[in-house]
Chains A and B, each alone.
Chain A
Amino acid sequence: MAPGSACPLPPTPPPSRVLCCCTRWSSGHQEGEPSGQRGPAGPHTSAQRCQYCTLVLFQKTPEIYSVELNGTKDIDKTDKGDGKEKYRGLKNKPSNCKKNHQIQEIKEELDLNDHKLSNEDLEKKYGTNIITGLSSARAAELLARDGPNALSPPKETPETVKFLKQMVGGFSILLWIGAILCWVAYGIQYSNDPSSSLDNVYLGAVLVLVVILTGTFAYYQEAKSTNIIASFSKMIPQQALVIRDAEKKTIPSEQLVVGDIVEIKGGDQIPADIRLLSSQGCKVDNSSLTGESEPQVRSCDFTHDNPLETKNMCFYSTTCLEGVATGMVINTGDSTIIGQIASLASGVGDEKTPIAIEIEHFVHIVAGVSVSIGIIFFIITVSMKYPVLDSIIFLIGVIVANVPEGLLATVTVTLSLTAKRMAKKNCLVKNLEAVETLGSTSIICSDKTGTLTQNRMTVAHLWFDNQIFMADTSEDHSNQIFDQSSGTWTSLSKIITLCNRAEFKPGQENVPIMKKTVIGDASETALLKFSEVILGDVMEIRKRNRKVAEIPFNSTNKFQLSIHETDDPNDKRFLMVMKGAPERILEKCSTIMINGQEQPLDESRATFHTAYMELGGLGERVLGFCHLYLPADEFPETYSFDVDTMNFPTSNLCFVGLLSMIDPPRSTVPNAVTRCRSAGIKVIMVTGDHPITAKAIARNAGIISANSETVEDIAKCLNIAVEQVNKWDAKAAVVTGMELKDMSPEQLDELLANHSEIVFARTSPQQKLIIVEGCQRLGAVVAVTGDGVNDSPALKKADIGIAMGIAGSDAAKNAADMVLLDDNFASIVTGVEEGRLIFDNLKKTMAYTLTKNMAMVFPFMLYTIVGFPLPIATVTTLFIDLGTDIIPFIALAYEKAERDIMNRKPRHKKDRLVNKPLVLYSLLHVGVIVTLGAFVVYFTVYAQAGFRPSTLIGLRVKWEKDDVNDLEDSYGQEWTRYQRQYLEWTGYTAFFIAIMVQQIANLIIRKTRRNSIFQQGLFSNKVIWVGIASQIIIALILSYGLGSVTALNCTMLRVQYWFVALPYAILIWVYDEVRKLFIRLYPGGWWDKNMYY
């Protein structure tokens, strides 16, 4: 696939890892062994294990320090260590070329060296001037050469091709054949007798009309749903601030060209690939490109050979979070990194959705049946010495009778109805058929950040007074129940409030606190909101405690410090508050505050470590807080603090408490995950985060359930080496990207198959593709969520790609089949439910449709073989297919689920929409009853008009002769051709109405497949009754309204004939109730196996 995909590349750590680690304050989740300390949750399977755990816990304590001190290097070490321990010996295998090709492609294509060039070289290279920019003329020239700075949209199928596909797809081709045969028949007739009737021409025309109408309708439906998406994905045109002709201009970013000098500021989307020339506190969010959610500092220094990792590059579609920068455009449009990845995504082919396969299967069955019956008939009729012409017409009749013309168009309607319903529940379905695919999903590979979590740091735990308190992490923080009476809390809250640079953006007075926009980084935001919720107006508190000096956080100090005047007018002391990495803070402290009293620290050190370990083990980011009241004598009110010389004490402070933060799971997620599990869906978490954090969130979200353990857990608890543990004893597994990289596809398959709860941590977005492929090799239907551009190949590859509506990039939305408008995992589960429901309901629709085929094919059999006058004409069958049956089809889509469909296993790929019991039950049971009922009506009409059933046998030939105008009936009366014709039409109408009446019963019984109608509620689905009313009204119109239109072959039917088939309709209902009763009584029994569809 890739041009020259030479391999293997040296396993460079993904850039994200390096960058993210150095900005971490706390080491809590960088601790080496990913499972040593667990939160209160996660009880062990045996008491013995727990004992071991406690031991281990304490033994491990010193390691925390080392981890912290070594910072980034340590991650590599531990990760590698993990890999070694877990899959020993794999490390040295040559890295698998095939597996990594995706990553390599992306990396290889980055043959950029602009980041290495000096500004002067750049100017030369791009013929521009850093100060004055390009000239407008030059820019226009370049624009003409390179095209606009926009990603070329994925190739769309031309509308005409889409339209034509609708015209020949499905049953259309059969109907075309039918129509052509009609005209051929007329051609033959015409050559023999120019005055022959035009009936066949009309029939052909009707068939073509049907094809065109249903095709147009289906096309329209699809176009409509595509438009929803189109309007959704259309974005407000972006502007870019560019220097041209030595002037700053705002132009649409589409007009940017290589060599332009652009200025970006916080909040902007980067308009193209940019080499930075100057920068002030610029931070970018590269998550859409690399999957790394941490903001990354950008400056104009060349720091890394890899253009993705060097600091002087910004990439198209990423966002500048804060600061300002100036840069030179070096790539635009499709040649940007994102553009290259997007084109990679388009290389992954579009696949057929399960429902498309199922419908195709249904079409094949029906087409196969109708063509083979047709051909058998043709042979029979020809060998019965019928003229070939007549045989052709019979053939057409059989085909048309068999084909449910209106069905496919209504399936589209049904799917779009569900799509609409899902859109209301925040699942926007781009591809209609994806609705059902979601229902058959067996594995969901979900992102963590934003999908499973709330995507914001939130204070989760507090530790003070030697106690851990839990904070409310729900979306609105409404319920903070921890003890706030302690004096320690008062001090702690003061530090939290004061030692914080984050501020609310002005003008949001009416916005709920949790929704307010904050200027500041994630942790400070969390603290700000936390304190605002508990203490009220933080800004006011800060105002009262005027800040006199401040040392902002930096990665060398690992603390933040500020000095304030106190709000107590009597207290002239300054308050120094400090927060930072807990061990750093602890080092500076000599006392600790317990219950508002300062005490020596010594005894509390152990409890501090335990608490710190525990919080760290929860995957939370831990911060320590301390303060010191500066003695008023040494530091009088006029004292001038100098942060550079640090003319104030920074040791022997008073430790106040710990606060830990996490991006908590959305409150709906644990429940959704449980529902997935009971629905037999495996939820795999794929995240770029650290394994500890990933695992903690996985536990909170229920992806790793409370009572399951990873290999590491078991090893730790039994106090044995990881490799001694039988891998398959562990239900759960946490696998890092590094480990994944070294796995062969077989090993990955084994891993996916044998662990029911899997978390992939530290993965690059490219590895998602590998995971998806692995799942698909196992035969799973895989749903994948993604937001970044890099996710788009995985989204494409997945059976159903789900893009995030809020966080998602355009490329991801383009590649996805579905967009989650609220980015919420729980919405996927709702979608799954809808998808399953639609599958069930489509099954009912198919069963409903198939039933009448018997009643439409049988008449042709008896007509040709027994020689009855034709019971139902080809055109009349169309009234059923395109008239009375249409609304009932759609009505079944509104049927509610019979049982909790979320307690079933996902549909196996072999579970067909139309399976054997369905076909047999519909055709050979209900179908036969409908046929008999219709024939009773037919015989009644003829008998009461003078032709007893016995007379009808073999009557066909004479009956249809135009020159026989004195055909004798059972009473000796003589009939002219027209009189017989009219009787025949009455027969058609009666037969049609008989089918319609029984289809009402058929519609009612199809409401459920297992439960009694009365359990389900006869009136539970109002639309069904609309359907029934529509059937009756259409029949009334055809019989009484249009009865005089000759071409329709309908007559005004006597009222009593409407009721003749009623006993059979009742029989259908009763019989089906009996069937369902036995199914419920003997589940799994012979009856169930043969009768449940």
Chain B
Amino acid sequence: MVIRKEKKSCGQVVEEWKEFVWNPRTHQFMGRTGTSWAFILLFYLVFYGFLTAMFTLTMWVMLQTVSDHTPKYQDRLATPGLMIRPKTENLDVIVNISDTESWDQHVQKLNKFLEPYNDSIQAQKNDVCRPGRYYEQPDNGVLNYPKRACQFNRTQLGDCSGIGDPTHYGYSTGQPCVFIKMNRVINFYAGANQSMNVTCAGKRDEDAENLGSFVMFPANGNIDLMYFPYYGKKFHVNYTQPLVAVKFLNVTPNVEVNVECRINAANIATDDERDKFAGRVAFKLRINKT
């Protein structure tokens, strides 16, 4: 069969379109009369109104299954991740000693980050807890909130507290402080009732050499059990995350050093193949000196 396709001239096409948009004979606009449009719009209004209602209802029902203070499932968060501050692009901590601007943004971030840790604020909001044991506040059938949090004073960070520090956390002198924090996970009893600490090391041998010595605050990189468990941001309003500060004292300048810090805790695995941040954190450190 021959395809009897009539080639339409340009004018015809325009004419057809015109007629499609407004057909004066049938009073059709875009192929429909006014009543037809009214019907169809009404229909879609009703139909989509109904669907919206249905969607809202199902979402509401679904949200009823979710509690306010604990997520329903936490299986993904079995191993909390570790993270550093200052948070830098690609976790590369690069300090040009002579170039103030290169580290000033880190310093600003850290100032802001450490503000809630100021001793005065901590003293005002949080309790002094007994170290070495979990600070549990069970509900015992009655919702018991807001829950209290334990103090983590900025002064505990020693040389890295940045209080009255002319070296700006060591960034101006090439001895930068990097803060390690462990991700919050609700109802997670980190350490399984045993003490835990953070250790850092160069990733490879040459990194270890270039890394030089460092000090940790609190001493040994300890994280106390009293900061656990975490009860969630709604209940545990003033929760202060424990930190470990690492001050790198003599990093070989002008070399990229791969540092890896990990937490040593009985119930935190640090060898997940896929999740490179499970119980550990790797970052690059580079001090540029001219």
Contacts and interface: CB of A to CB of B under 8 A. Distances in A.
B1 A799 contact: yes
Interface stretch (B9-17, B136-144, B182-190, B199-207): B182-190
Contact of A963 (B39, B43, B62, B90): B90
B275 A975 contact: no
Of A945, A973, A975, most B-chain CB atoms within 10 Å: A973
Contacts of A1086: 36, 39
B276 A797 contact: no
B25 interface: no
Contacts of B59: 936, 939, 949
Contacts of A781: 1
Contacts of B234: 971-972
Interface stretch (B64-72, B213-221, B248-256): B64-72
Interface string B6-32: 000000000000000000000000000
Contacts of B44: 924
B90 A945 contact: no
A797 B1 contact: yes
Nearest to A925: B47
Of A352, A939, A944, most B-chain CB atoms within 10 Å: A944
Of A776, A946, A948, A1060, most B-chain CB atoms within 10 Å: A946
Given A932-B55, A944-B65, A963-B91, A969 B278 contact: no
B70 to A, nearest CB: 7
A194 interface: no
Contact of B184 (A948, A962, A974): A974
Contact of B183 (A779, A798, A939, A966): A966
B71 A972 contact: no
B74 to A, nearest CB: 7
Interface in B203-249: 230, 232-234, 236, 239
A972 B236 contact: yes
A971 B71 contact: yes
Interface string B77-112: 100111100011111000000000000000000000
A776 B1 contact: yes
A929 B51 CA distance: 7
A513 interface: no
Contacts of B77: 946, 973, 975, 979
B181 interface: yes
Contacts of A983: 76
A132 B271 CA distance: 98
B277 interface: yes
B123 interface: no
B287 to A, nearest CB: 20
Given A799-B1, A943-B62, A943-B63, A973 B71 contact: yes
B261 interface: no
Given A925-B47, A940-B62, A966 B81 contact: yes
A66 interface: no
A975 B275 CA distance: 11
Nearest to B43: A1090
B127 to A, nearest CB: 19
B66 A975 contact: no
B121 interface: no
Contact of B186 (A963, A973, A1060): A973
B54 interface: yes
B1 A932 contact: no
Contacts, number: 139
B87 A963 contact: yes
B65 A973 contact: no
Interface in A644-683: none
Interface in A923-937: 924-925, 928-929, 932, 935-936
A965 B71 contact: no
Interface in A1049-1079: 1054, 1060, 1063-1064, 1067
Contact of A944 (B73, B232, B275, B281): B73
Of B36, B65, B277, most A-chain CB atoms within 10 Å: B277
A351 B3 contact: yes
A979 B81 contact: yes
A943 B81 contact: no
Contacts of A349: 2
B1 A798 contact: yes
A232 interface: no
A978 interface: yes
Interface in A782-810: 782, 797-799
B58 interface: yes
A982 interface: yes
A978 B239 CA distance: 25
Interface string A938-977: 0110011110110000000000001111101111111111
B192 interface: no
Of A940, A977, A1054, most B-chain CB atoms within 10 Å: A940
A812 B65 CA distance: 71
A935 B54 CA distance: 13
A797 B43 CA distance: 47
B266 interface: no
Contacts of B66: 943-944, 948
B232 A963 contact: no
Contact of B73 (A925, A936, A945, A948): A945
A977 B278 CA distance: 10
Contacts of B88: 963
A7 B246 CA distance: 105
A352 B69 CA distance: 65
Contacts of A977: 275, 277
Contacts of A948: 63, 66
Nearest to B44: A924
Contacts of A940: 62, 65
A972 B40 contact: no
Contacts of B186: 971-973
Contacts of B54: 932, 1063, 1067
B51 A976 contact: no
Interface in A964-1008: 964-966, 968-979, 982-983
A971 B47 CA distance: 36
Contacts of B230: 972-973
Contact of A974 (B58, B80, B275): B80
A820 B146 CA distance: 85
A964 B43 CA distance: 46
Nearest to B239: A972
A945 B275 contact: no
B2 A973 contact: no
A441 to B, nearest CB: 11
Nearest to A1090: B40
A944 B278 CA distance: 21
Given A351-B3, A966-B81, A971 B276 contact: no
28 contacts: A352-B3, A779-B4, A799-B1, A932-B54, A936-B62, A940-B65, A944-B72, A945-B73, A945-B74, A948-B63, A949-B59, A963-B88, A963-B90, A963-B91, A965-B277, A969-B71, A971-B69, A971-B70, A971-B233, A971-B234, A972-B233, A972-B236, A973-B183, A974-B81, A975-B81, A976-B275, A978-B275, A1064-B58
Interface of B: 1-4, 36, 39-40, 43-44, 47-48, 51, 54-55, 58-59, 62-63, 65-66, 69-74, 76-77, 80-83, 87-91, 181, 183-186, 230, 232-234, 236, 239, 272, 274-278, 281
Given A349-B2, A972-B234, A1086-B39, 18 more contacts: A351-B1, A352-B3, A797-B1, A932-B54, A936-B62, A963-B91, A966-B81, A966-B183, A971-B70, A971-B232, A972-B186, A973-B77, A973-B183, A974-B80, A976-B277, A978-B276, A979-B76, A979-B275
Q: Which 8 A-B pairs have the closest CB atoms?
A: A972-B233, A976-B81, A974-B183, A978-B275, A946-B71, A944-B72, A799-B1, A976-B277
Interface of A: 349, 351-353, 357, 776, 779, 781-782, 797-799, 924-925, 928-929, 932, 935-936, 939-940, 943-946, 948-949, 962-966, 968-979, 982-983, 1046, 1054, 1060, 1063-1064, 1067, 1086, 1090
